[in-house]
Amino acid sequence: MPLFNHAAFSLDEVEARLRLHRLPDTGPKAFHQLIETCGSAAEALRAPRSVWRQAGLSAAACDARDSDPVKLGAQAAMRWLEHPGQHLLMWDDPGYPALLAETSAAPPLLFIAGDPTILEKPQLAIVGSRRASRPGLDTAAAFSRSLAKAGFVITSGLAAGIDGAAHQAALDVGGQTIGVLGTGIEKLYPQRHKALAAQMAASGSAVVSEFPLDSPPVASNFPRRNRIISAMSLGVLVVEASVASGSLITARLAAEQGREVYAIPGSIHHPGAKGCHQLIRDGAQLVETVEHILEPLRGWQRTAAYCPQPGHPLLALLHAAPQSSEALVRSSAWPLPRVLEALTELELEGRVVNEAGRWFARIS
């Protein structure tokens, strides 16, 4: 069965959202604005063109909403969701990853092959060059194995080079890993990683995409997927990268999102080290051993490794990731007064603490 809250979303509403998702010129902001204006995606499809234009939708989007490609694509996605291990998470779903939900451009929909629940687990991203050196690949694999054995989910972009090495190493030690695509799940790129993606989906890990299932490789989509990699992670480790590498985009986004940025230095004569050296000059943490990452994350490491069952629904969410009160409303599907009342009780019991507007579960 597809993963979404049947009590909150009818099948008609899900299909309507899938149709809106396929419209041209309709990013997260326009998608959210249209649903907010009309009350639901199903009502939006019944609204006149003038309402769409007032909500900021382009003429191209208005023209396409009743087109056969949009309707047929949504129907195909509904059929895809009928298969085991194939899921859809919507931004107002309780299971939507909390750290990603807090970003300004959170994807309205996430297609997932594999286990969707690991998107809420503590993650560390490992990224780097597609044309990595053998030492770079070995280093990525070594760090991935150590971090996965410590209990962290390893997140990357399923690209050639460093990404693939990090994913495979996590699987090799029985860890979990998430691959975030810049294509639709059914148009996976690069094709050389088709078997790796299938292994991930079948073994308790996940492959994720914000793009419609049949979206082909488009250059502009890969920087977009990088914001998801960084947003879902507690930190981003750049292993090897040139100064023009897309990995530096991921690192920059991580810094903007308040995540940790780690970089492994290399020889001054190696072009693949120049991007990491630039990051270190810009303030990234220089990393030589896995302890340089694990030491500041000891609390998270215990959460990741031991997966406590805190009992209280809000505690379960906060053990996965710190959240604001507003994010907890979205994650729990509770009204704000109920969330605030529960947080007050948990704070008095010493089980949560508020720092800079975000709530943290206290690790005993």
**CB 152, CB 127: distance < 8 Å:** no
- In whole angstroms, give the CA distance from residue 234 to residue 252: 14
Mind giving me the DSSP string for 62-78? HHHTT-HHHHHHHHHHH
At 350 the pLDDT is 79
Contacts 24+ apart (CB under 8 A), 147-151: 147/175, 147/290, 147/293, 147/294, 148/173, 148/174, 148/175, 148/176, 148/177, 149/173, 149/175, 150/290, 150/294, 150/301, 150/304, 150/305, 151/122, 151/301, 151/303, 151/304, 151/305, 151/306, 151/307
In the predicted model, what is the mean pLDDT of residues 216-229?
93
The yes-or-no verdict on residue 193 having pLDDT over 50 is yes
- In whole angstroms, give the CA distance from residue 336 to residue 316: 17
What integer best gives the mean pLDDT of the chain?
A: 89
Q: Which of 250, 260, 232 is nearest to 119 (CA)?
A: 232
Task: List the single range of 184-188, 243-247, 303-307, 358-362 with lowest mean pLDDT.
Answer: 303-307
What's the burial of 228, exposed, middle or buried (CB within 10 Å: 0-12/13-18/19+)? buried
Question: For 248-303, what is each residue's pLDDT tens digit?
Answer: 999 999 999 999 999 999 999 998 899 999 999 999 999 999 989 988 787 665 55
> Where along the chain do its domains lie?
1-81, 116-299, 308-361
Indicate the pLDDT class of residue 362, thresholds 50, 70 and 90.
confident
- In whole angstroms, give the CA distance from residue 323 to residue 360: 7
Which fold does the domain 308-361 belong to in CATH?
Arc Repressor Mutant, subunit A (1.10.10)
Percentage of the chain with pLDDT > 90?
Answer: 66
- In whole angstroms, give the CA distance from residue 48 to residue 326: 32
**CB 294, CB 301: distance < 8 Å:** yes
Tokens linked to 264:
């492994």
Question: For 65-107, what is each residue's pLDDT tens digit?
Answer: 999 999 999 999 999 999 999 999 999 888 899 899 888 889 9
In the predicted model, what is the mean pLDDT of residues 344-351?
80
**CB 31, CB 78: distance < 8 Å:** no
Question: For 96-109, what is each residue's pLDDT tens digit?
Answer: 998 998 888 899 99
Residues in the chain: 364
What's the burial of 154, exposed, middle or buried (CB within 10 Å: 0-12/13-18/19+)? buried
Which fold does the domain 116-299 belong to in CATH?
Rossmann fold (3.40.50)
Question: For 1-47, what is each residue's pLDDT tens digit?
Answer: 344 544 468 999 999 999 999 999 888 998 988 999 999 999 999 99
- In whole angstroms, give the CA distance from residue 305 to residue 3: 25
At 6 the pLDDT is 44
Question: For 290-335, what is each residue's pLDDT tens digit?
Answer: 989 988 787 665 556 544 444 677 887 787 677 888 888 877 778 8
